[in-house]
Amino acid sequence: MNPTVKDPLQKKLEVRNWIGLGLLLVLGFIFASLNFTLGILLGGLISIANYYWLYLSLRKAFQQLSDRTKTTVMVKYYIRFAVTGVVLYLVITQTPANVIGLLVGLSVVVINIIVSTVIEVSKNNILKTKEVK
């Protein structure tokens, strides 16, 4: 596998993250307050940025594969965790964003991974069923 080319599933996940955030924002604008929608937006941006940062860290770690890889990955994990915590603290204390909306936005990546898994498993089951017949 070429390390500079993204896996097709990774590309799908990234696109679906943005689509999911867009859908939640539209629903937020229609059915919720502006502060709730702001929470969705900020939470979604934080979760997508965190997901992408994790992707880059793991990609680089698996390209290098040395004895220090585990330590490097863990240090980067804790740095990412701390930065995310500080950003969440600032969002909660310094913006009018609704906390529940923020939690909904933070769930974008998790919801996307679950939905994508169901879609991919369903596709594989349909293909296997067609092969058997």
Higher pLDDT, 76 or 3: 76
Determine contact, residues 106/51, Cβ cutoff 8 Å. no
Question: pLDDT-based confidence at 1, cuts 50/70/90?
Answer: very low
CA distance 109 to 46: 10
Rg of the chain, C-alpha, whole Å = 18
Q: Whole-model pTM?
A: 0.81
